[in-house]
Amino acid sequence: MDELRSGAFAATASPWRARLREAAMTLVVEQGYEGVTVELVLERAAVGRAEFEREFTDLQDLCTRVYLANIEEFDRLVFAAADRHTEWRERLRAAAYAAAAYVRDRPLETHFNMIQILRAGPTPQAFRDRYVQRVVDLIDEGRMELDDPDSLSRGVAEATLGSIYGTLAKELQAGRGTGAADEFVPQLMYIAVRPYLGHEAAREELAIPPPGGPAEGAG
């Protein structure tokens, strides 16, 4: 079970909400969002309709709030890793490996967050679009490495993230899984670093090994 460590859906805070979250993610990934109903989720989670309706309006509301809880944890893990460093490349690399660890260790959440939630209507999509700007901000810090930061636009960071996101989504949709996510990090770092620091600095990323301590991973 992909348990949250904190928040309203954490098992320690509310076992029945945790069961709802797990049931919703599992059914949506197994059957597609369009094939899931509230009744199916309630049956899988062993939660009553009256209890559900005290907190949620419908399936979209539940899935959107599950998604927000998921990305809050993703955010905490990824940016905590980045914030242990001050130099931009180290910040970005630490964040990338933390994100890869999340993807590797939480395949159910990853499929739900990246693929199925986008079929739940415009509300979760709007939250997704707003959230990814934080990741763009981290990549865009690379402009501060330049003598003239204005020589590149924020669009470079947006395009870089789009390439990374698209690559991972393609792997998921092709059914190739998430177990080797950390193997992609050096190549993705190469893509991210090259526009800001040039080819030679980017090539260095291909030879830098993963961080060795658990504190740099999903921890």
Quick: pLDDT tens for 137-171.
Answer: 999 999 999 999 999 999 999 998 888 777 777 76
Residues in the chain: 219
Contact residues for 168 (Cβ-Cβ < 8 A; gap 6+): 103, 114, 181, 184
Q: Where are the domains of the chain?
A: 63-216
Q: How many CA atoms lie within 13 A of 31 on its CB side?
A: 13
pLDDT digits (tens, 9 = 90+) for 55-104: 999 999 999 999 999 999 999 999 999 999 999 999 999 999 999 899 88
Evaluate if residue 2 carries a pLDDT over 70: no
Cβ-in-10-Å burial (0-12, 13-18, 19+) of 118 comes to middle
Of 23-37, 106-120, 201-215, minimum mean pLDDT range: 201-215
The amino acid at 213: G
Of 49-53, 60-64, 131-135, 163-167, minimum mean pLDDT range: 163-167
* CATH fold for the domain made of 63-216: Tetracycline Repressor; domain 2 (1.10.357)
Residue with tokens 């989670």: 45
Evaluate if residue 7 carries a pLDDT over 70: yes
Whole-number Å distance between alpha carbons of 41 and 204: 48
Q: What is the pLDDT of residue 173?
A: 66
> In which band, very low, low, confident or very high, does the pLDDT at 217 lie, cut at 50, 70 and 90?
very low
